[in-house]
Amino acid sequence: MIKLSELKETLNSGEYTLAVSKGDTLLTSREKGIRPLLELALSKDDLSGAYAADRIVGKAAAMLYTIIKAKAVYAEVLSEKAAEVFEKYGIAYEYDTLTENIINRMGTGLCPMEDAVKDISQPEQALRAIENKVKALNK
């Protein structure tokens, strides 16, 4: 079984942006943004009880971790809203840096995914909002 500490090492190697494990299965991604986690949340794979290591986790990503029923998540950067989601849904978490908000890549405002879920409290609603925002940004 791959533990959270091993996933942190995988992430800290600099090669990946996301690492998720369940049992002996390790899923990784080099893609930036929320898309790889969204794909996992939309998949039919049973990831309940999985461990994850991620570069940046805001409320939107935290909601997706509730969808996959993660057991524990490590984030290099974690937002306060994400911590609230993890506490509400009983997901253990660790982080290196806690921040008030996740900002967009240009540094000019709130991340579009965070903006999409800022007024949402239910994970399934958040999933749809994130999906719609990703589609809109891809146009």
123-138: pLDDT as tens digits: 999 999 999 999 999 8
Residue boundaries of the structural domains of the chain? 4-137
Provide the mean pLDDT of the chain: 94
Q: What is the pTM of this model?
A: 0.95
Length of the chain: 139
Q: Which of 7-11, 12-16, 77-81 has the lowest mean pLDDT?
A: 12-16
Averaged pLDDT, 16-29: 93
Helix ranges (H only) for the chain are: 4-12, 35-42, 59-67, 80-89, 112-117, 123-137
Averaged pLDDT, 58-85: 98
Q: Report the C-alpha gap between 16 and 125 in whole angstroms.
A: 28
Nearest to 92 by CA among 62, 121, 122: 62
Q: How many helices (H) and strands (E) does the chain have?
A: 6, 5
Q: Does domain 4-137 have CATH number 3.40.140.30?
A: yes
CB 63 within 8 A of CB 83: no
* C-alpha to C-alpha distances, 4 to 10, 49, 106, nearest whole angstrom: 10, 12, 31
